[in-house]
Structure 1
């Protein structure tokens, strides 16, 4: 009986840990010259919005520590609503206009509830003249 209860509790814990739908995985293959359209990415703190890729568009951000990073603009909180986060005036965070959740642009982690999961990130490949975002 103890084993049965342990199995049931373990199953409940595993199912509840992944609660909430993640941002859907869609194919992304964006490539463009960095200059002049994306020249803001040449320095830390610079960012660019790219529409038409991912679920709700992309945020390209030049991180202080990680170089250029890319996130889907679709909020990780209730992603079925496909709310596109917007860059705040500080240029350090992005806000979900549907829930008020905030995310760090350094790493995509939530910094204000109700979101508890990071923004979906994508792989970034840069050369001296081009940027490519893929998954």
Structure 2
């Protein structure tokens, strides 16, 4: 069954010029990009998106980082999209991620780790409409 997931290329990877390489990896791994745009989040928008982490010690630094530059948000589709994208991204900490994953190749550290991806169907159901209207998803 086809499934959708949200992907974000984070400010560190956009600034470093890795966006094209990351998008190529997605397509090479069978993901179809159903929607994509480049945006800049305000701090308040980043806080709203990461509200599930509100009580965690990294919340402020994460939302500051995510509002520090341009990001590329995408809706990806394929069978088992959520699990497959999590696998392709690699562990949150690039130093613990498997060889060949996006975070090993393009991440710097646990916060500046190149990409974000939905971790569950429930997250996807919140995250995709946060950035895209139904009319924007092909």
Question: What's the TM-score once normalised by structure 1's chain length?
Answer: 0.27
**More strand as a share of residues:** 1
**More helix as a share of residues:** 2
Q: Which has the larger radius of gyration?
A: 1
State the structure with bigger RCO (CA 8 A, min sep 6), 1 or 2. 2
